Amino acid sequence: MKISSGLLTAMLPLALVVGSVESYATDAVGLQVRELAVPGRDNPISVKFWYPARSDGDLRRVGENKVFEGVAARQDASIAEGQFPLVLLSHGGLRAAPHMSNWIAADLASRGFLVAVPQPPRLEYSDAGVAVQEIWRRPSDLRATLTVLERDAALGPHLDPNNVGVVGFFLGATSALALAGARLDPASYKQSCDKPGLAMDCAWFEKNAVDLSLTDNHDLARSHKDARVKVAVAVDPELSHAFTEASLAEITIPVGILNLGQPGGITPELDASGLAVRISASHYQTVADATPFSAFSLCKNGGAEILQDLGEDGSICREEGKRSGAAIHAHLTDLIEAALMNSAGK
């Protein structure tokens, strides 16, 4: 199976629906959205904070549209008493839609995690020339979000500073590994599109005449390691081939690596099996009946047909295995939670 940049943004043209769901049964999950100024960006970014909440706040359905189901959260609810382990969450590729992380963020918050999700600026198809800068900007966003959260008067006191993890999907998983200490080798990255099976966005770059060989070496090679992060989880990471062997060997925190698919059938650009032997502190697992689409929001009935009408691949919404998408989501949350708790020895 092949994923294109277009599939990752298939939901963007659809009108967002955020409605009242007072009758919707849910755990007490709170949501606050803030604008943060972060280093290296000209404009502030939006950051979602998901957390265990009290029963106040406006219960709403977030991220719902004609194709995808939303999740329930109490907008601006008070945070529950106590300190909670923090998850820095980065989901998606270069052109991913902003709500694909909602399901895992809400699931983890319902299990007692405080989850921070920085949302990078939306890239248009014509933005391929600046898109490569996201390779180093997104890890920086995560680190800046943690710093701001530590100083936040409302949420900061509820953060357990000894229990900070990072979770990423796709390019977000590349960022998660960067915070663990992985560094990109500029030469390897610049050759990512020289042969198939190494990078996800080569067709997009080619159509926009983007020359990866011109990417700044210093920015590519910079370290994003953050000693505050105690555990990392990478789901279908991109650019696994481009990390330096030395940086992977130096990673000492626990790293959970997940591939969505059956061994032998995983998209080459996302196959992370080689990382397991290159990171001594890692644990590698596959979810055989999942696909990369399993990392997206759950589809509504008729979602596949709507996508086809938009000229997209409706397979993103087709459940072909024995388990439902909801069941796979629950399994993924179990695996991610177990990997996160590894840092606490629980």
Q: Which amino acid is at 42?
A: D
Per-chain mean pLDDT for the chain: 90
Q: What is the pLDDT of residue 206?
A: 94
Q: Is 70 exceeded by the pLDDT of residue 272?
A: yes
CA 138 to chain centre: 10
Q: Which residue has the higher pLDDT, 182 or 5?
A: 182
The reported pLDDT for the residue numbered 96 is 80
Q: What is the reported pLDDT for 320?
A: 73
CA–CA distance from 48 to each of 114, 155, 299 (Å)? 11, 12, 22
Q: Quick one: the chain helix, strand, coil %, rounded to 5?
A: 35, 20, 45
Strand bridging mode 282-287 / 58-62: unpaired
Residue 69, by phi and psi: left (phi above 0), alpha (psi -120 to 50) or beta?
A: beta
Q: What percentage of the chain carries pLDDT values higher than 70?
A: 91
Helix or strand holding residue 339 (H, E): helix 325-341
pTM here is 0.91
Q: Angle CA(183)–CA(185)–CA(187) in degrees, nearest 5?
A: 165
Cα separation of 154 and 162, whole Å? 19
Q: What is the mean pLDDT of residues 282-308?
A: 93
Task: Please give the structure tokens belonging to residue 335.
Answer: 């695996």
pLDDT at 234 over 60: yes
Q: Which of 86, 229, 82, 106 is nearest to 157 (CA)?
A: 82
Segment 253-258 shows an average pLDDT of 98
pLDDT over 60 at 24, yes or no: no
CB contact at 8 A, 172 and 89: yes
Domains with residue ranges and CATH for the chain: 5-344 (3.40.50.1820)
Binned at pLDDT 50, 70 and 90, residue 346 comes out as very low
Average pLDDT, integer, range 331-346: 84
| Confidence band for 2, pLDDT divided at 50, 70 and 90 | very low
SS (H, E, C) 244-309: CHHHHHCCCCCEEEEEECCCCCCCHHHCCCCHHHHCCCEEEEEECCCCHHHHCCCECCCHHHHHHH
Q: What is the pLDDT of residue 342?
A: 75
Q: What is the pLDDT of residues 78-93, one digit of tens each?
A: 999 999 999 999 999 8
Confidence of residue 3 (pLDDT cuts 50, 70, 90): low
Q: Does residue 11 have a pLDDT over 50?
A: no
Residue 14 has pLDDT above 90, yes or no: no
Query: What is the rounded distance in angstroms from the CA atom of residue 253 to the CA atom of residue 232?
Result: 7
CB 170 within 8 A of CB 270: yes
User: What is the layout of strands, in order, in the sheet containing 231-235?
Assistant: 58-62, 71-75, 29-36, 45-52, 114-119, 84-91, 159-169, 231-235, 255-260, 282-287
Contact present, 3 and 292 (Cβ < 8 Å): yes
pLDDT in tens, 41-65: 999 999 999 999 998 999 999 999 9
pLDDT tens string 132-189: 999 999 999 999 999 999 999 999 999 999 999 999 999 999 999 999 999 999 999 9
Which residues partner with 34 through β-bridges? 47
Q: Report the alpha-carbon distance of residue 258 to residue 54 in Å, rounded.
A: 33
Q: Is pLDDT of 255 > 90?
A: yes
Strands 58-62 and 114-119: unpaired
Q: Is 179 helix (H, G, I), strand (E, B) or coil?
A: helix
pLDDT attached to residue 318: 80
The arithmetic mean of pLDDT across residues 212-229, rounded, is 97
Q: What confidence category does residue 343 fall into, taking pLDDT thresholds of 50, 70 and 90? A: low
How many whole angstroms separate alpha carbon 273 and alpha carbon 266? 10
| 159-169/114-119 β-pairing | unpaired
- Cα 59 from chain centroid (whole Å): 24
